Each structure stands twice: as C-alpha cells, then as structure tokens.
Amino acid sequence: MKEKRKIVVIGGSAAGPKAAARAKRLDPDAEVTVIQKAPEMSMASCGYPYFVGGVFDNRNALLSTPYGEVRDPNFFLHTKGVTARTETEVVAIDRQSHNVCCRDLKTGATDDLSYDKLIIATGARPRKPVIPGVDLEGVTTLQSMKDADFLRKIRDDKTITKAVVIGGGLIGIETCEALQLSGIDITVIEMLPQILMFLDWELAKVLENHVRSKAANVITDVRLSSFIGEAGKLAGIRLENGTELPCQLAILATGVIPDIELAKNAGLTIGETGGLAVNEFMQTSDPDIYAVGDCVELIHRITGKKTRAPFGDLANLEGRVAGENAVLGNQVTFPGTIHTGICKVFDFSAGSTGLSEFRARQEGYENLVTVVNASLDKPEFMGAKLLISKMVVNGQTGKLLGVQCVGPGDVSKQIATAAMAILGKLTVSDLVTADLPYAPPFSLPIDHFIATAHLMENKLKGRLVGISAVQLKAQLNQGVPPFILDVRTPAEFDQMRLGIGETLIPVGELRDRLGDLPDDKDREVICYCKISLRGYEAARVLKAAGWKNVKVLEGGIMAWPYRREK
C-alpha cells in the first residue's frame, strides 16, 4: 500500500491555508496539517480597518467563507480534509529528521510532527521604532485580530478623543479613516516627505489634501521622537522638531518585517532584502521546504531585482503554487510581482502598478516619459467622478512601466487594466487602440486609460509638450514666470483659480485675441483649463499662430496639488 504523503504548513493566515487546501485537493490521500500560532485562522487582515471603522459589525465576517461559514479547525477538517492546530507554535525545524517541534501555547506541552514536504508561511511582524515610551498602554499596531478587537472596542466605547497614526502607508491611511469615522480627532505622522510612497509626490499630495479636507491632520517630513506617558498610559507624542501632540491612542503603522527567525535557525538561506529566499517554484534552499507569503522575497518582474511584497492577494497566489508543487513536484511557477496595489482614502481611491517615476529613476531608467491626465471616469449624465492618472513609459521603446491613479472615480478598473498591460509588455502604440468595454454607465467612449495613452502618444510624437505642476511650481519659485494662460470661461475662473499670475482668455475667444499674447514668439506660454483638454486645444492654436515655446499644464487645475487662490 502506498504510504501517504505528509504535508506540514507553518502559518494559518492567508498563504498557509491556501497552500494546504491546494495540496489536499490535488492529493486527496495526503495528510495535510496546518500549525497556527494565533487562535484564529484564515483572517481577512486587509479588512481590519473596516471592522474597526464600523463599516461592518460582524467580527466573524473576517474569518468566514463567502457563504458565511467560519474557517476554524472544524471547518478545515470536515470541509477541506486538513488538520488545523491553532494556538500552537512551531519552535524548531529539524531538516535532517524531517520533523518540526510544536508547542501547545495553552498547556506548554511539546510534540514532534514529521513531514515529507514543509511549507513555511510565518508572515511578517510589525516594525516597531526603538524609542522611549513605545511599550506604554495605548500604543498598538493593527496586525492581528487581537489588535482589531482592541481598536474596535475603543471605537464602540468612545473613550478616546485624540489619536495619532505613525506611518502614512496603506495601513496607516486606512486606519486614519477608520478612527476619523469613529469620531476621534486623528493625526497622521509620516517621516518621509509624503504619504503613500507608492505614488509620486504630486499624486500623493492630492490624496493628502483630501485627507485634510476630512478633518484629519497630516504631518509629513518629521520623525517621531518619543511617546509621552502618565502613570504608564499614553498621554501624547513628541516629534523631533519639538512639537508635542496630546493623544490617548497611537497606532504604529511603520511597515512590517519578514518573520524568518524559525527559518533562519533552521539554516535556510535568507535573501538580500531580508525575506526568505525562494525560487520560482516557491522552494527554499532546502528542496523539501517551500515558503510563501509575507516572509519571502520575490522577483520584481520589471526590474528583475529582488523585492518584498507583503500583500494578501500575492500570498494566496504563492500559496496555491507551493501547495501544488509540494504534492505533484515542481510543475508550476510564481513569476514575481509588479507591485500592484490599491487603497481607499475616504471618498478617494489610490492605486498603482509597476514603477512610479521616482522608483524608475532610482532603478536607473533614464529615458523616461511621463504624463498626467485628469478626466472623468464616465459621462457627466451618468454621475461622473474625477480620475487623475500618471503614466510612466520607457521613451526609447514606448513600453509601459507604470501607472498611478487617484480620485473618487473607478480607480480599480484603471489599475487592473494597466497591470495587465504591463504584464503583457504592451507599448503605447498598443494602448491607444485598446478594445475596452464601453457603455455610458461604465466609461466614456474613450476610456480614461486610453485617453491617458493618447496624451502619452502625443507627447512621444512631439505634438504635446507638457509641464507638470511640480515643474511649473519650481519655475515660479525661481522667479522666472512664464506667460500662464487660463482658457476656461469667466464663470469657471470666478469659481476656482490658481492665483499664480495667470491671464484668462477663454479658448473660444483665443483666435480673436492673439494680440493679448506676448509679442515675443519665443516666450514660454503655458496653457491650461480644468483638466487641460481645452488647454491642449489652445496650445495647438498658438503653435499654428507661430508661438514656438508652448506647453500644457498636465492635469490642469484638478491635478494641481498646491494651494489655490480660490
């Protein structure tokens, strides 16, 4: 009789259960065991901020299948055929004997469990700053169900009036929204010059302005110095610039680091980024051990370099690959990541895929071309909402490198389309005639994504000379202002304007008022409107009339990240 294959999975959050279920489906005779340190399994951790914020009240929804069954050990045993041991910790891996030593966290008892193939899915742990007061009562993270329960109780009890979030990344901003919706006065502290570092500065600033509009404060470019305590409880924070902010709650959202101590002690190879090194089969340096999820490092599919990508969707995909390979041999691969992500920011969404301009330049790309497009996601008569996108392209090959998108419109659709275009190695010439779905409830006849590609094509062919808001602001700060032409209507100008020395000439009057333009045809002229569609029309008129140095402010007023006069 054939001996049953033994598969042991360490970690029961996202990647581990996925690997276990996949292995059992493909080899029903296999003995599959999941060891989970926490009391819960298969937690939807990306949903924690929304549970805290009261978007939904049923805690079990974070642990349940789409049809409402809680994914506990009983569920895994009877529905999946997988043995799950919760509140149990693997304390050592003996690679020679193919055993793991397990400790029951309730009784302290230990036992050994043998394996043919082992899958490590130990995840990541919060990065905690080493500063005074970090262990005060009231300083927490949002990494576990226990953390989510703690913050939800604070929300429900309404005992906290002021809180700070340390870190302006995905979790930090989502937690900011959750606490603000709970009626708590909230401040986000970010040591870098901007929030959401996966965006370029000008788009991140648009998001920051939106967060501020929701009565949440944001302080960037300053480090936290210490937590201030009274009788063992948090009373405030002190920043390195001397500023003190009173608060009774502080959430650490300063990132995560791979939880690799178990693997490291077992002698497995650790990668250059600090994650566990794996090959394309999700196999570690030991051929009988696989690793998946937040504890591993991956290949960046654009740069070819090692990177870490602690995202729940990738964890599931990696688990699926490792589970299959553990029972059938190395038949499937996981090719890596392009860092596609999205988050909700109050009424806006923010998403990106591939490389931002900042990251691309860090990676040594020199011949970059970027364009910013502000336009609607659907016709106005269907309840249109604004989208602001930035596209990054290799100027030599025309290949798409990255797209970022923010706004109240359908950001997810834009980023999903862009991600597939990058994975398909498409160029701008492919994108300008892309066959995407159209109907008024869903998009414009020329979708925002295709319109962004059209702008890029015009730029690559020299038909559009753009200038970004950042570039224009830098020129203004240097005291060498160009001739700035606002081509909207007087009513629009009266309602909202930049106040940077612009001249108003509606585009419909421009041909008859060319005499109001500078006599020097070499003078730099910058045209714009609300989204710079009319700005581009105006630029074409001026070019035809002989002005040689005409540019369009990309994204127009709607993408302007600085203070406006009105």
Q: Which of 46, 176, 247, 405 is catalytic?
A: 46
CA–CA gap between residue 434 and residue 449 (Å, rounded): 9
- Beta strands 244-246 and 233-239 are antiparallel
- The one-character DSSP state at 137 is B
CA–CA gap between residue 354 and residue 359 (Å, rounded): 9
Q: Tell me the mean pLDDT per 10 residues along the chain, length 566.
A: 87 96 97 97 94 94 93 94 97 97 96 97 94 95 94 92 96 94 93 97 97 93 96 96 96 96 97 97 98 98 97 96 97 98 96 98 95 97 97 97 98 98 98 97 97 97 96 92 96 96 96 95 96 96 96 97 92
Q: Tell me what pLDDT residue 215 has.
A: 85
Q: Tell me what pLDDT residue 3 has.
A: 81
* Residue range 341-460 in CATH 3.30.420.40: no
Q: Tell me what pLDDT residue 566 has.
A: 84
| 3-state secondary structure (DSSP) of residue 509 | helix
For the chain, the domains span 6-123+257-328, 139-254, 341-460, 466-559
Question: Which residues are 35's β-sheet partners?
Answer: 10, 85
Q: Tell me what pLDDT residue 2 has.
A: 67
Whether 176 is catalytic is: no
Helix, strand and coil content of the chain, in percent to the nearest 5, comes to 30, 25, 40
Q: Is 268 exposed, middle or buried (0-12, 13-18, 19+ CB in 10 A)?
A: buried
Q: Which of 351, 346, 281, 273 is nearest to 310 (CA)?
A: 273
| pTM, 2 dp | 0.94
Q: Tell me what pLDDT residue 51 has.
A: 95
Selecting from 3.30.43.10, 3.60.20.10, 3.30.160.20, 3.50.50.60, what CATH number does the domain 139-254 have? 3.50.50.60
Q: Which two tokens stand for residue 276?
A: 């566990």
Q: Which two tokens stand for residue 111?
A: 């036992």
Q: Which of 89, 23, 96 is nearest to 286 (CA)?
A: 96
- Beta strands 6-10 and 256-258 are unpaired
From residue 126, alpha-carbon distances to 37, 87, 107, 259, 328 in Å are 16, 20, 27, 9, 35
Contact partners, residue 286, CB within 8 Å, separation at least 6: 95, 266, 268
CA–CA gap between residue 467 and residue 483 (Å, rounded): 13
Any idea which fold 6-123+257-328 has?
FAD/NAD(P)-binding domain (3.50.50)
From residue 265, alpha-carbon distances to 44, 117, 295 in Å are 29, 18, 14
Q: Do domains 6-123+257-328 and 139-254 have the same CATH topology?
A: yes
From residue 123, alpha-carbon distances to 103, 235, 373 in Å are 19, 32, 38
Q: Give residue-wise pLDDT tens across range 443-492.
A: 999 999 999 999 999 999 999 999 999 999 999 999 888 999 999 999 99
CA–CA gap between residue 170 and residue 178 (Å, rounded): 12
* Residue range 466-559 in CATH 3.30.420.40: no
User: Contact 291/413 with Cβ under 8 angstroms?
Assistant: no
Which single residue is written with the structure tokens 């964890």? 315
Q: Which of 528, 526, 533 is nearest to 386 (CA)?
A: 533
Q: Give residue-wise pLDDT tens across range 2-35.
A: 688 999 999 999 999 999 999 999 999 999 999 9
Angle between helices 469-477 and 201-213 (to 10 degrees): 90
Q: Which two tokens stand for residue 541?
A: 């008129």
